[in-house]
Structure 1
């Protein structure tokens, strides 16, 4: 068993026999669902209804409970200790806070705050004191302090802008150290090349745009963020004043064009980075000096990427011995086995996502819920405890244009 793994409480689905059970109530909110809504610039396909509350069926599938209107809230997250839900309205650039009730009813909770272009991800600090927003449109990473009742304070602080470590290929200042150009290639079994590869989907203009995409709070209090456009994972530590709530600690440069998107933390001390363009998982670990570096890498799918694929989400399975990745295009959920000290990954299976364009997924005990954006449903699958792979579909609920699932704690 891997360091930190726990076969019991995270693995038992509510309503089953085992070491942790919970009464089933289809009228109670179990998840918050983000979506694209109609008439929003940039999607052309939104049919969602804002933020929706979903309850659990006895089978483990999900059922609609209630909803609250919002303008394409593509990412939602709940406060770690309060019944407060935060929604990122992707195209308006607003973050909104809502008070949440057991039945899924949401009510406005303070004034919204504007943060930036195409805000696509939110995370709340474990102590509930601050929120980090990532803006895909303009590359900004923004910190917002939270009041004691979970309201947005209204004060937003931009963190230091990212700089493209690769720059213009061949120009002074481009990343050229041997580890990035050849060392990672060796880890992944690639041929070393004098020119970096260009992956499907990479923006190849001479001046690449910054694309902040996600943030994750780490157990030591630092925050990791990705810049999909600049192939960076940046690490931030607490600052000494409200004017600088987070300051840059260090950066990890990935190979040019891979497109780091989302992150998953494993209890063994490894940070797994899913790349949207190259469909890979890079594993990072901190050294004795506290600085993270790449220690391993693997394909994110068992059968390899197909033309038009784009990786979307990565998560740790409840047993802590597998990862799940979702891939749009070929519409797959892949399972990767975690071995050794937690750094070794091997993709062992690919299964269909149950619909079109698996934008997001989340584990729920022994059930995996997949938000299939273009087919307009959340599809639920039983997870095989032995292999970690999704198996039999146990539910499907039509929900418009789903983009994000966040556990509810009420």
Structure 2
């Protein structure tokens, strides 16, 4: 929650494709409906967002997914977002994802295939990078896997490890963060079948399993996660379309329900949200159905903090569509908000 006690939503977009920047919106406490309240026009292509928390309240961070690469932070505890310092160059190309880890901000740099670590000042202002950790390797895809392409970086639920998902090298890397030196050190690499092109992963609420979504091959890989040893182990690869699919697809974003019974995956190409069930162990997965995403090219999915609504950022149709959720796990479309070139949704 922000300083006013009301939940807010923030929506990233691609300004290079006609997006307005970052849209901030109010969230209806009963229906989850979004109403636009303003626009932040600070950096180009703020395609992905993350929220951290400082003493005074929440801080919103965005990447600038450009060839130069930058991040920016905003105090969003009040009614109007306030820029914290100037945007900070990441020293890496095309940061496409970011996350807050203790007193650091981390970006996954798709263009340069690296992870950048930036310390945060006491008020949450991003500072100059303390390290840039390059990935190594390639994959079999003739266009998308000629080099590393880090697509996501996040901390595990225990807070002890940093994981990065690399589409270009068919791998998930586990790193240690030294909070004193601000350096990342590679600890473990989990390899996936060649050509998977992993994009994002999501953790089980218990923190003992993770689900890796392939972009180049439409699959979800169930993995066992050991936070004591920092080892991620693949168990089973499950196709999102067991009977095949007649059009090219690029899955984008996985989300696990708060009751750990369902996983949703956005699929670009079919413009759907795949619905999968999880058993009580978290290791047995079954494709249940799929529903229209409410627009075209769903780039991101986000779960309402209360778990009752799911939001799809539909890039090519320029909207955020929200869905009601119940015990069946099948999303039911409830409404939408026009946001040109929408790319990500977060809450604070």
TM over 0.5: yes
- Which residues of 2 match residues 165-180 of structure 1 at below 5 A? none
Name 1:195's counterpart in structure 2.
Answer: none
Answer with 109-118 or 325-334: which moved more: 109-118
Residue segments in structure 2 that go unaligned for 5+ positions in a row: none
Check conservation: 1:59, 1:395, Cα contact below 8 A. no
Name 1:374's counterpart in structure 2.
Answer: 316
CA distance in 1 between counterparts of 2:205 and 2:184 reads 24
CA RMSD of aligned residues (A): 2.2
Name 2:44's counterpart in structure 1.
Answer: 71
Shift of the 241–363 alpha-carbon distance from structure 1 to 2, 3 Å rule, reads closer
Shift of the 240–77 alpha-carbon distance from structure 1 to 2, 3 Å rule, reads closer
Which is greater in Rg? 1
Check conservation: 2:116, 2:129, Cα contact below 8 A. no
CA distance in 1 between counterparts of 2:287 and 2:8 reads 30
| The structure with more strand, counted as a fraction of residues | 2
Alignment of 1:322 with 2:262, yes or no, is yes
Q: CA shift at 1:289, angstroms?
A: 4.8
SS at match of 1:208: coil
1:217-245 CA-to-partner distances (Å, cap 9, x unmatched) read: 01331011011001010001123751x52
Query: How many residue pairs align between the two structures?
Result: 335
Check conservation: 1:210, 1:230, Cα contact below 8 A. yes
Name 1:257's counterpart in structure 2.
Answer: 195
Instruction: Pick the aligned partner of 1:149 from 123, 148, 156.
Output: 123
Shift of the 240–122 alpha-carbon distance from structure 1 to 2, 3 Å rule, reads closer
Instruction: Pick the aligned partner of 1:266 from 201, 204, 222.
Output: 204
Q: CA shift at 1:165, angstroms?
A: 6.8
- Which residues of 2 match residues 388-399 of structure 1 at below 5 A? 388-391=329-332, 393-399=333-339
Name 2:60's counterpart in structure 1.
Answer: 85
Shift of the 292–329 alpha-carbon distance from structure 1 to 2, 3 Å rule, reads same
Residue segments in structure 1 that go unaligned for 5+ positions in a row: 1-21, 41-45, 167-197
Name 1:108's counterpart in structure 2.
Answer: 83
> Normalized against structure 1, the TM-score is what?
0.77
1:91-125 CA-to-partner distances (Å, cap 9, x unmatched) read: 1411111121443x222202321112111000001
Name 2:250's counterpart in structure 1.
Answer: 310
- Greater RCO (Cα-Cα under 8 Å, separation 6 or more): 1
> Normalized against structure 2, the TM-score is what?
0.90
